[in-house]
Amino acid sequence: MKIALAQLNYHIGNFEKNTSKILYHIEKAKKDQVDLIVFSELSVCGYPPQDLLEKKSFIEQCEAAIEEITASCKDIAVVIGSPTLNFHQKGKRLYNSALFIQDAEVKLIQNKTLLPTYDIFDEYRYFEPNDKFNIIEYKGEKIAITICEDLWDIQPAENPFAKNQLYNVTPMDKLIEYKPDFILNIAASPFSYTKIWGRKNVFIRNAKKYNLPVFTINQTGAQTELIFDGGSLVVNPDGTIADEMKLFGEDYKIFDLNEIKKCTIKKTIDEDPNVIAKIHDALVLGVRDYFKKMKFTNATLGLSGGIDSAVALVIAARALGPENLRVLLLPSKYSSDHSITDAEVLAKNLGVRHDTVDIQDVVDSFNDSLKKMFKGLEEDITEENIQARARGTMLMALSNKFGHILLNTSNKSESAVGYGTLYGDMNGGLSVLGDVYKADVYKLARYINKDSEVIPENTIVKPPSAELRPEQKDSDSLPDYDILDKILFEYIELQKTPEEIIEDGWEKVLVERIIKLVDSNEYKRYQAPPILRISSKAFGAGRRMPLVAKYH
C-alpha cells in the first residue's frame, strides 16, 4: 500500500481555501498512484475553531465541504478531520472526527476519545468524547485511526501536583483488540521549544508498545498565537524513525507500507536540535501567517536601538519583507547617541524605511500641562511612563494613517514582572517576543548574526535600558536576566511553588520578590496583545489567572 501524508497550512473558517488544498492533493495523490492519502485533525475547518463550532452555519459549511471532498474520492481512499454531529439525545452536539472515505462514500467515522482541556486546549467545551472503537479494513490492511491526544494518554508531569495519567481509557488498548496492521494519527499539535523531542517520543513509545508502524500527520502554519510546526512522522514498528517531514512549512510525501513494516527505511534525526533556530523559524512563520490570514500587509514598530526591538524588526523583515515595514525612531533627551546610531544602522542593514520623530517637545507639553496638579511632588515613574505613552501615541498615529499594524516588542521576562507601560510600549496588534525570555532574545540576536552582522554588535553587548531617566539600566529595577529568567521558568513553565524554587538554591527574598511581581502584574498582561506561543506555558489563553484573587 502506498500512503501519502499531506502536511498543509489551513485557515480557520476558510472552507473554500481548505477544501481546494485538500482536493488538489487528492488529485496529486491519484496521479502518483497512491492508495491512501491522509490529512490532519479538523483539516476541513482549520484548528482550533473555538466558538465558531457553536454556529449552525459553520457546521453546515463543514458538511458541505465533506460532501465535495467525498465526491472526489474515487480510485483512492482519504482520511480527513472534521467536526461531525452527535445524533444521540445526550451529550454535546459535536464530535471531533476522522472520516475514512473510499469510493465516494464515508466508510468510517472515528471520533476522538481523549479531549484535552488544559493549557491552550479546551476541546471538552465543544465535543463529546468517543466511547466506541472500530477499525477499517482497506486493501487487505486493517487500519487503527486515532486523533492527536488519543496517542498522548500518558502526560509528563511538569507540575508535581498534576497527574501523569490524565484519562481513564487508552484508545489504542481498545483498538489493538481488532489486530490492526498500522496506526494512523491525525493531529493538530502546536510548536513548543520545551517539547521538541517529547512529541517524537510519544509516537516512538506507541510504535514499540504495539509493535506497529505509526503514521502521524500534523498541520503547519499559525493561527493567531498558536504556531504549528508540522514535523509529521513515520515510525517503524521497532520505534526507529523512518522519516520526518518538513518543519514550519507545507510538505507532501509518499511511503510504502511494506517497507515501513520491515523497518527498511531509517532516518537519522538530530538528537540535539538547534532550539534557537527553531524559535526563530517559528516566530517568522507566526508573524507571516498572522498578517497573511488577516489580510494585513504592512507593519511598524518603535526601533529604540535596544535588543528587543532589533530582534523583532529582523523577524518582521524576514516574515513580511523589508519593503512592507516602516519604523519610527523616537528619541527623548535620555536617549543615548549610540542607541540612535544603532537603530539607524540596523534599519539600513535591513533596507527598512525609518523616520526619526523627537518626542521631547511632546513630553514637555504633557509635563507642563500637569505641572499645576503635580506641584510639590517629586518626579517618579509617572514621568517615565509619559515618555512611553508618547511613543505609543506616535506609533499608533503612523499605524492609523498608513495602515501599518503595530508590532509589540516586549519580551517574556519584562511581561512577567510588569516591566512595561500600559498604553505605551505595551501597545500593538501582535506580540512578537512575548513568549521569549530576555536571555533567549540575546541568543536569537547571535543566531541572526551567525553569517554576517545584521544587528549592530553594540546593541547586543550594551547593558539593557529603557532610557527613561539618566543612566538608567534594567538592572536598577530587576535582577540580572540570567537569574531572573531561571526563576521565572521554574515558576511559570514548571509551576513550582516558592518553597520548591528556594530549595533549588535560590535566595528566599529574591524568589518571593520575583513571584510577587509576577502575581501582581496579571492585570497588565490581561490587556496585552496576542502573544506568539513558542513555549509550553505562554501568557494568554494557556495561562488563566483571576485578576482579583488574593493568593500568595
DSSP conformation class of 350: H
User: If you search the block for the grid coordinates 488498548, which residue do you land on?
Assistant: 173
Identify the helix (H) or strand (E) that includes residue 182: strand 182-186
Concerning whether 112 is annotated as a catalytic residue, the answer is yes
Active-site choice (112, 200, 293, 438): 112
Q: CB–CB of 182/212 below 8 Å?
A: yes
Active-site choice (148, 149, 278, 384): 148
Concerning whether 148 is annotated as a catalytic residue, the answer is yes
Total residue length of the chain: 552
Helix axes 438-448, 307-320, angle to 10 degrees: 50
User: In 304-452, where do the E strands start and end?
Assistant: 326-329, 353-356, 405-408, 430-431
Task: Tell me if residue 86 falls in helix, strand or coil.
Answer: coil
Q: Using CA atoms, how far apart are residues 350 and 330, in angstroms rounded to an integer? A: 19
Concerning whether 453 is annotated as a catalytic residue, the answer is no
Instruction: Give start and end residues of each alpha helix (H) in 403-454.
Output: 412-417, 438-448
Active-site choice (41, 123, 244, 414): 41
Torsion 372-373-376-380 (CA) sign: negative
105-111/2-7 β-pairing: unpaired
User: In 437-547, where do the E strands start and end?
Assistant: none
DSSP conformation class of 103: T
- The long-range contacts involving 245-251, CB below 8 angstroms and separated by at least 24 positions, are 245/5, 245/7, 246/7, 246/220, 247/278, 247/281, 248/191, 248/220, 248/278, 248/281, 248/282, 248/284, 248/285, 249/220, 250/7, 250/8, 250/9, 250/220, 251/5, 251/7, 251/220
CA angle at 129 for the pair 123 and 135, rounded to the nearest 5°: 120
Task: Tell me if residue 84 falls in helix, strand or coil.
Answer: strand
Listed in sequence order, the residues at least 6 apart from 212 whose beta carbon sits closer than 8 Å to its beta carbon are 144, 180, 181, 182, 183, 206, 237
105-111/430-431 β-pairing: unpaired
What residues are labeled active site? 41, 112, 148
